[in-house]
Amino acid sequence: MKKFMNTAETMVAESVEGFVRAHEAFVVFGPERRCIRRRHLTPGKVALISGGGAGHEPMHIGFVGHGMLDAACVGHIFTSPTPGQIIAAIEETDTGAGCLLVVKNYDGDLMNFEMAIEMAGDRHSLDMVVVSDDIETSKIGEGRGRRGVAGTLVVMTLSALKQLGEGLNTRIRSMGVALNGVTVPQTERTTFSLGPDEMEIGVGIHGEPGHARQPFAASDAIIGHLCQTIAGDIAAAPGAKALLFVNGLGGTPPAELYLAYNGARRFIEERGIPIERSLVGTYVTSLDMQGLSVTLALLTDEEIALWDAPVATAALHWP
Amino acid sequence: MKKFMNTAETMVAESVEGFVRAHEAFVVFGPERRCIRRRHLTPGKVALISGGGAGHEPMHIGFVGHGMLDAACVGHIFTSPTPGQIIAAIEETDTGAGCLLVVKNYDGDLMNFEMAIEMAGDRHSLDMVVVSDDIETSKIGEGRGRRGVAGTLVVMTLSALKQLGEGLNTRIRSMGVALNGVTVPQTERTTFSLGPDEMEIGVGIHGEPGHARQPFAASDAIIGHLCQTIAGDIAAAPGAKALLFVNGLGGTPPAELYLAYNGARRFIEERGIPIERSLVGTYVTSLDMQGLSVTLALLTDEEIALWDAPVATAALHWP
């Protein structure tokens, strides 16, 4: 296991400290380093809070800043932040309008975010959006079981409220592929291992194995399979507009992501869905996994306008 | 060799096409796809042009846009663009004030950019800055032999003229480390191979081996060695201000880059050099190499102001 780290115990803390020092213009530590929050809060705005295990950087801390999150909590690797951390984020960022918590659909995250709401709900106005865009751990079509993965980013960027988030969540699908398993530093356990000519289709971002191990193939064949599954699980009405997001899982270089995007875009557009917005890069990782995920989000004109709204964070910045 | 690609022959073209489609707001293809240029040129501005082999993405095409490059040319993997490509970029972007070519210090690049200047110099006002920030292929201190690597980015961002670029080039040093060699798709040759407990210190961005193969170590030990070599090769006058840049070589996840940055920042600041600006991310790659480079640039106040000037490109965007 070759990783740039000193000890498994201090890995997350040192990485987050590096992040905060590199992006002092956007973020500061909350008290006792229990959360990362925006340097400048906007009084009267609903605070957006997210978080989850470490190992997915730049998610979530990379999206703290103007136009996206007000705070993010980082747990141990692949482990939810504690209710105490989430409450600290609430107390740090609630300027009177309450907080919306953006939570990925995992038992540990749900439990701890719900517990924080229960414990702080008498003093703060709180609500929660659960993101479940990932197709593959569930049977296709059963929305309740889907994990939240790269689509989380789209919901957060739209910096909007529960209703908007929940509506959007029904129109986002993601699916991933990995060319290798990853080793979790603290346990030194490998999540799964693949031969030199194998790939794993439908992986999660915590190294959950996918639904099929297949022989490695040309990019267009892999991407075609992902896009076909996604397109088959999402109802695109005529006139639908889409955001296409190709996300690197940690060990995949930009050149390969752009090549994959090129194939995905062709595939989706050939099915009559115009791509109005795009995102290509390493935004939601699974440690150093070599692999990628494809996310398709069907957006209304209002949602596209929200996506275009200015953001200034460590990991995303526009216009 | 597991890479997201279809054929080795079409890999670069498909990846660049995906890039252009994903970033249509910033860039368009030049005629016959010989270069990538800014969608909106600024008449009367000196055009900045760079380029080099593919396999280093997002460099160079990711830096085409407002405040950085006006055009970039992409060669085959690890191979210079042709003089014809460079001349096409000159003709596309010269709006009357001439062009400054930003070239990395490799024989192939130098030869082709010089040839382009010779061939187009009667019709255009042209000059060239050669970037040579990399410490390790040369003996330390012999500036003329140093390769241009991640420091190229700093020169380009300062969006300034030959003099500025050449002055800055004397005050930038980079050094890299790799945890694995990479396989070049077309040749299927591995640049070098490392055992599970080895690392290569002082690598180049085309898979050139470094000056020493060492046992893999804790991040602070690796980063300390890089920083010490860099600090020993660059004269920091009292009052010097620095930009610290930790760059991923293609297969290194953000969490590890931030951890490495944390160590590098501590090391440099302990030596009395305040870090005024930071950059952490995957900007200059060597295919899917697991590894990183550290770049230190000593800047004047004027240069810091230029660094802070607005940029809007696919790979960098601020304020």
ipTM (interface predicted TM):
0.88
Rounded CA separation A272/B240 (Å): 57
pLDDT, mean of residues A19-35: 94
Q: What is the pLDDT of residues A279-312, one digit of tens each?
A: 999 999 999 999 999 999 999 998 898 888 888 9
CA distance, residue B314 to nearest chain A CA (Å): 10
Contact (CB<8Å) A15/B292:
no
Contact list, B5 vs chain A (CB under 8 Å): 218-219, 256, 259
Are the C-beta atoms of A135 and A173 separated by less than 8 Å?
yes
| Count of CB atoms situated within 10 Å of the CB of B11 | 23
Considering the candidates A23, A60, A124, A206, report the single residue annotated as catalytic: A206
Place A143 in a pLDDT band, splitting at 50, 70 and 90.
Answer: very low
pLDDT, mean of residues B5-24: 94
Strand partners, A243: A277, A297
Closest Cα partner for A278 from B25, B263, B221?
Answer: B25
**Does residue A135 carry a pLDDT above 80?**
no
Q: What is the pLDDT of residues B28-87, one digit of tens each?
A: 999 999 999 999 998 888 899 999 999 999 999 999 998 889 999 999 999 999 999 999
CA distance, residue B97 to nearest chain A CA (Å): 28
A57-61, A123-127, A231-235, B236-240: range with lowest mean pLDDT: B236-240
Closest B-chain CA to A61: B255
Tell me, what amino acid is at A315? A
pLDDT, mean of residues A17-25: 94
Q: What is the pLDDT of residues B158-172, one digit of tens each?
A: 345 677 888 888 899
pLDDT, mean of residues B299-314: 88
- Complete edge-to-edge strand list for the sheet that includes strand B291-299: B212-215, B198-201, B172-178, B291-299, B241-248, B275-281
Distances (CA, A) of A236 to A180, A264, A276, A299, A300: 33, 16, 14, 10, 11
CA B109 to chain centre: 13
Contact (CB<8Å) B4/A317:
no
Amino acid A152: pLDDT? 56
Place B141 in a pLDDT band, splitting at 50, 70 and 90.
Answer: very low
| Mean pLDDT for chain A overall | 88
Contact list, A218 vs chain B (CB under 8 Å): 5-7
3-state SS class at A54: strand
| Count of CB atoms situated within 10 Å of the CB of A214 | 15
Closest A-chain CA to B6: A218
Contact (CB<8Å) B258/A287:
no
What is the Cβ-side half-sphere exposure of residue A184, based on CA atoms within 13 angstroms? 17
Contact (CB<8Å) B254/A11:
no
Rounded CA separation A61/A71 (Å): 8
Cis peptide before A60 (omega within 30 of 0): yes
Contact (CB<8Å) B18/A259:
yes
pLDDT above 70 coverage of chain A, percent: 92
DSSP string covering chain B, please? ---S-S-TTTHHHHHHHHHHHHTTTTEEE-GGGS-EEESS--TTSPEEEEEEEESSTTTTGGGBEETSBSEEEEEEETSPPPHHHHHHHHHHH-SSS-EEEEEES-HHHHHHHHHHHHHHTTTS-EEEEEE--B-TTSPTT-GGGPPP-THHHHHHHTT--HHHHHHHHTTEEEEEEESS--EETTTTEES----TTEEEES--TTS---SEEEE---HHHHHHHHHHHHHHTS---TT-EEEEEEEE-BS--HHHHHHHHHHHHHHHHHTT--EEEEEEE--S--TTB-EEEEEEEEE-HHHHHHHHS-EEESS-EE-
CB pairs under 8 A between A and B: 184
Contact list, A23 vs chain B (CB under 8 Å): 278
Contact (CB<8Å) A263/B317:
no
Contact (CB<8Å) A14/B254:
no
CA distance, residue B70 to nearest chain A CA (Å): 18
Amino acid A153: pLDDT? 55
Are the C-beta atoms of A155 and A285 separated by less than 8 Å?
no
Contact (CB<8Å) A261/B18:
yes
Q: What is the pLDDT of residues A28-76, one digit of tens each?
A: 999 999 999 999 998 888 899 999 999 999 999 999 998 889 999 999 9
Strand partners, A175: A294
Closest Cα partner for A317 from B258, B314, B41?
Answer: B314
CA distance, residue A149 to nearest chain B CA (Å): 17
- Option in B58, B255, B257 nearest A254 (CB): B58
Contact list, B57 vs chain A (CB under 8 Å): 253-255, 258
Contact list, B287 vs chain A (CB under 8 Å): 253, 255
Contact (CB<8Å) B11/A282:
no
How much is the pTM? 0.89
Q: What is the pLDDT of residues A152-208, one digit of tens each?
A: 555 554 345 677 888 888 899 999 999 998 888 888 788 888 998 999 999 888 878
Contact list, B223 vs chain A (CB under 8 Å): 4
For residue A285, the 8-state DSSP code is: -
Rounded CA separation A92/A95 (Å): 8
- Option in B19, B253, B254 nearest A258 (CB): B19
Contact list, B263 vs chain A (CB under 8 Å): 6, 14, 18
CA distance, residue B121 to nearest chain A CA (Å): 33
Closest A-chain CA to B77: A255
Contact (CB<8Å) A256/B290:
no
Burial of B256 (0-12, 13-18, 19+ CB in 10 A): buried
Contact list, A14 vs chain B (CB under 8 Å): 219, 259, 262-263
Rounded CA separation A94/A125 (Å): 9
Contact (CB<8Å) A22/B278:
yes
**Does residue A77 carry a pLDDT above 50?**
yes
Query: Most A CBs within 10 Å: which of B258, B282, B284, B311, as the mutation test of the A interface?
Result: B258
Rounded CA separation B102/B113 (Å): 9
Amino acid B200: pLDDT? 94
Which of residues B147 and B217 earns the better pLDDT score?
B217
Q: Could you list the active site residues of B?
A: 56, 206
CA distance, residue A46 to nearest chain B CA (Å): 24
pLDDT, mean of residues A248-266: 95
3-state SS class at A176: strand
**Does residue B148 carry a pLDDT above 80?**
no
Residue ranges of domains in chain A, CATH in brackets:
173-307 (3.30.1180.20)
- What is the β-pairing status of strands A27-29 and B291-299? unpaired
| Mean pLDDT for chain B overall | 88
Closest B-chain CA to A13: B259
Amino acid A151: pLDDT? 58
Closest Cα partner for A169 from A157, A190, A155, A188?
Answer: A155
Closest Cα partner for A264 from A175, A132, A149?
Answer: A175
User: Distance between the two ends of chain B, CA-based, in angstroms?
Assistant: 39
Contact (CB<8Å) A256/B5:
yes
Contact list, A12 vs chain B (CB under 8 Å): 255
CA distance, residue A300 to nearest chain B CA (Å): 20
Amino acid B158: pLDDT? 37
Token pair, residue A261, equals 């995007």
Amino acid A250: pLDDT? 94
Tell me, what amino acid is at A319? P
Query: Most A CBs within 10 Å: which of B259, B292, B318, as the mutation test of the A interface?
Result: B259
pLDDT, mean of residues A76-99: 94
Contact (CB<8Å) B15/A256:
yes
Considering the candidates A23, A56, A60, A225, report the single residue annotated as catalytic: A56
